[in-house]
A = this chain, B = another copy of it.
Amino acid sequence: MRILLVGAGGTLGSAVGRALLARGHKVIGVGRSGGDLIADVTDPAAVARLYTEAGPLDAVAVAAGDAVFRPLRDLTADDVVATFRGKALSQLELVRQGARHVAPTGSFTLVSGIITEEPIVGGAAVSAANGAVEAFVRAAAIELPPQRINAVSPTVAQESLPAYGPFFPGMDAVPATRVATSYVRSIEGSQTGQVYRVW
């Protein structure tokens, strides 16, 4: 398959890219500052250009999202808006526009995260953005067929423990390769409207 992978350069994105390549797929990596294609997907006009440049696609997968972690009492209105734009609106826009570009039986795989269900201090805006993504996946799944849509909800990656470990006390980390497996499941499988928890 020909797969657009947004956030291909990150910890998770690299693992997803490797997993898809190992399965024989063609991966078109997208980043904000590097990759096969460069785009800031928080800008709807940039998403439009991205789809024009990408050509025919069998799947779109998102492995990154910008989000602000900050204690609720210090969180600003701008932090909340930035988090919604970076993690929720960007992904919805990739689907909204992508529905016209992806193959009729193609798929979308979005990313949420464990804190949708298991919140952590400082993560309220991010939990909200994740919750939007998961509810959108369930809803879009009844309108997109035969296209499919799922989300992957990872816990913290082992590779991210040095940076994020202290925010996830008593929560098991998983290697990014295990999260990547769920992207393969979403892309090559036949389910839709699912949130694959990897934790």
Which residues from chain A sit less than 8 Å from chain B, CB to CB? 44, 71-73, 75, 77, 80-81, 84, 88-89, 92-93, 96, 99-100, 115-117, 119-121, 123-125, 127-136, 138-144
Contact residue among B92, B131, B140 (Cβ-Cβ distance under 8 Å from A136) = B131
Q: Assess the B77–A128 pair: CB atoms within 8 A.
A: no
Closest B residue, CB atoms, query A126: B139
Contact residue among B77, B116, B124, B134 (Cβ-Cβ distance under 8 Å from A140) = B124
Q: Assess the A93–B116 pair: CB atoms within 8 A.
A: no
Q: Report how far A84 CA is from B89 CA in the complex, Å.
A: 9
A60 → chain B, closest Cβ, in Å? Answer: 15
Contact residue among B123, B124, B131, B142 (Cβ-Cβ distance under 8 Å from A131) = B131
Closest B residue, CB atoms, query A48: B77
Q: Assess the A99–B73 pair: CB atoms within 8 A.
A: yes
- Please state the number of chain copies in the assembly: 2
**Chain A interface mostly:** helix
Closest B residue, CB atoms, query A112: B135
Q: A72-B143, A80-B89 are in contact. Are A130 and B135 (CB under 8 A)?
A: yes
Q: Assess the A119–B139 pair: CB atoms within 8 A.
A: yes
Q: Assess the B132–A84 pair: CB atoms within 8 A.
A: yes
Q: Assess the B96–A72 pair: CB atoms within 8 A.
A: yes
Residues from chain B with a CB closer than 8 A to the CB of A142 are: 119-121
Residues from chain B with a CB closer than 8 A to the CB of A139 are: 115, 119-120, 123-124, 127-128
A97 → chain B, closest Cβ, in Å? Answer: 8
What are 25 A-B residue pairs whose CB atoms fall within 8 Å in the complex? A44-B77, A72-B144, A73-B143, A75-B96, A77-B96, A80-B92, A80-B93, A80-B96, A92-B125, A116-B135, A119-B135, A119-B138, A120-B142, A123-B139, A124-B136, A124-B143, A127-B135, A127-B136, A128-B135, A128-B136, A131-B131, A131-B132, A131-B133, A131-B136, A132-B132
